[in-house]
Structure 1
Amino acid sequence: MRGSLIWVICFGLILFSCGSNEESKTVESTPPQTENTAPETIEKNENQTRLGIDVSHFQGDIDWNEIKEAGILFAYDKATQGETYVDPDYKENHIGAKNAGLVHGSYHFFMSNDDPIKQAKLFLANALYEKGDLPPVLDLESGGIKGEITREEFEKNVLAWLEYVEAELGVKPIVYTNHSFGDQYLSDGKLAEYHLWVAEYGVDKPKVPKVWEEQGWLIWQRTERGTVEGAIGQVDHDLYNPEKPAIVEFE
């Protein structure tokens, strides 16, 4: 989930085509990409298309007012990772996105070798959740698998995090993953009770893990190589499913 040069927007969106305290970007692995590595760009929002971005400190300083002007309606910011890591730009990004009028959400990058409840407590101690915000997200990727762990143990720990955060905040978190990782590690039917944020790039339609086949996806991270005015460098582009009812008020 990537300064002084501002990128200018120029693309047209088509619906449905569309561990340590010293964190390393390589920890956050992403789903396999196609050979098309050219950055994509986002045009202004029209016709109820709900576009979003997700960021961490890797994006550097962000002009959130320009992000809003670009038609972006929502943003997810990385809050925490594992048992100890807090993203250094989280609070600044949270305040900037909120002040610019974007709907905001926070996510936690899950580490398999860390205690799930300690991870949940770290997230809750740092995430600035308020009524009207997007639900918290648990980021599940191959980069978070450390050492050997069975699918059953991983699922048990994931559910422990989800259930703890849900009980504390009174809102169901969202699960972020991709279909290959999900099919390998996530098969418990209880997971289908949580909305899915699926990542897949360079396709007309994302493939969801089997657990979510009936429910489908709520948010689709459709590229990690996007440019958008107001953000330094490339950011992840996200689309809220236009066939799903809005779970928050976007405007």
Structure 2
Amino acid sequence: MLRLVPFLFALMLAACGGRAPAPMDTGAIPAPPVNRPNFGDADPASFGRNGPEDHPVHGIDLARFQTDVDWRQARANGVSFAFIKATEGGDLVDPMFRDHWRGAGRAGVPRGAYHFFYHCRPAAEQAAFYIRTVPRVAGSLPPVLDMEWTPFSPTCTIRRAPDVIRSEARIFLDIVEAHYGKRPIIYSTVDFYRENQMWKVGNYPFWLRSVAAHPDEVYGGRHWTFWQYTSTGLIPGIAGEVDINVFDGSREDWARWLAAHAG
């Protein structure tokens, strides 16, 4: 099946119609030094002795809900990276993606784009749509595949078998890795990760959500690269609440990770 992926991808790109996304600035800006986080939380959790404050490198993920961002102020207050929602399914571009992408880039915040997976559309179509939307820019963070259950979706609430879900994930990941030349990141939630045994997809960096306990406790000690620890963060420069994440490592580890994965 995997041998068919490049051929299927070529067909998808050739067959995709509609107007191309508007041109975007693609100048890469070197990553700034890591600043000490100056964050609050509207609904803080108690993580005990093993909390996010033990990790020096913090960042955010955001989408259309964050409509007012002063990126330079956010960077000065400890935002060291940003994952920005780009696409969902095969036809939805987040309305704030271009503004967030430009703003983060101009402020020197390392930025990456994530795709929210739609379980009622072929993975190859979704990968082709992501590639048409997200520019290939030196210095960007790797592409992200966000896979989780969608019980409140108005159009798609199906739950396919774990082996099907993992197969679809591999198709998407293979296509975007071939295009961007970077090993993608997988984002997942506790229930989705466990029920679909997402660690079996392959040797990918994982970005895991855990808002009540350290991910080492929740995910059985499996390795993670990014941890989303709250969705109610408060950061100077960002109006309203925002998701906050940490990188698993020191400032020096972060510099090495960027050099290896964001070239």
What's the TM-score bracket when you normalise by the shorter of the two chains? Answer: 0.7 to 0.9
Report whether the alignment pairs 1:245 with 2:243: no
Report whether the alignment pairs 1:196 with 2:206: yes
1:173 to 184, 202, 207: 184
Q: Aligned partners of 2:86 and 2:211: how far apart in 1?
A: 24
Q: Aligned partners of 1:240 and 1:105: how far apart in 2?
A: 14
Note the C-alpha offset of 1:48: 8.0
> For 2:119, what is the secondary structure of its paired residue?
coil
2:196 to 177, 181, 185: 185
Kindly report which structure 2 residues correspond to 1:30-69, keeping only aligned pairs within 5 A, or say none: 49-69=56-76
TM-score (norm 2): 0.73
2:172 to 148, 152, 161: 161
Q: Aligned partners of 1:179 and 1:10: how far apart in 2?
A: 24
Q: Which is worse superposed, 152-161 or 199-208?
A: 199-208
Larger Rg: 2
Change (3 A) 1:10 1:77: closer
Residue ranges of structure 2 left out of the alignment (5+ in a row): 1-37
Q: Which is worse superposed, 119-128 or 143-152?
A: 143-152
Kindly report which structure 2 residues correspond to 1:23-34, keeping only aligned pairs within 5 A, or say none: none
Change (3 A) 1:10 1:166: closer
Note the C-alpha offset of 1:185: 1.4
Note the C-alpha offset of 1:128: 2.5
CA contact under 8 A between 2:71 and 2:107: conserved in structure 1?
yes
Q: Aligned partners of 1:86 and 1:75: how far apart in 2?
A: 17
Q: Which is worse superposed, 144-153 or 65-74?
A: 144-153
Deviations along 1:84-138, whole A, 9 cap, x unmatched?
A: 1001110110110011110011000001111101100111111123121111100
Residue ranges of structure 1 left out of the alignment (5+ in a row): 1-7, 19-41
Q: Aligned partners of 1:233 and 1:113: how far apart in 2?
A: 32
The residue type paired with residue 245 of structure 1 is D
Kindly report which structure 2 residues correspond to 1:91-102, keeping only aligned pairs within 5 A, or say none: 91-102=98-109
TM-score (norm 1): 0.76
Note the C-alpha offset of 1:58: 0.7
Report whether the alignment pairs 1:80 with 2:87: yes
Of Structure 1 and Structure 2, the greater helix share is in 2
Count of residues in Structure 1 that have an aligned counterpart in Structure 2: 212
Kindly report which structure 2 residues correspond to 1:1-12, keeping only aligned pairs within 5 A, or say none: 9-10=39-40
Percentage of pairs with the same residue: 27
The CA RMSD over aligned residues, in Å, is 2.8
CA contact under 8 A between 1:198 and 1:208: conserved in structure 2?
no
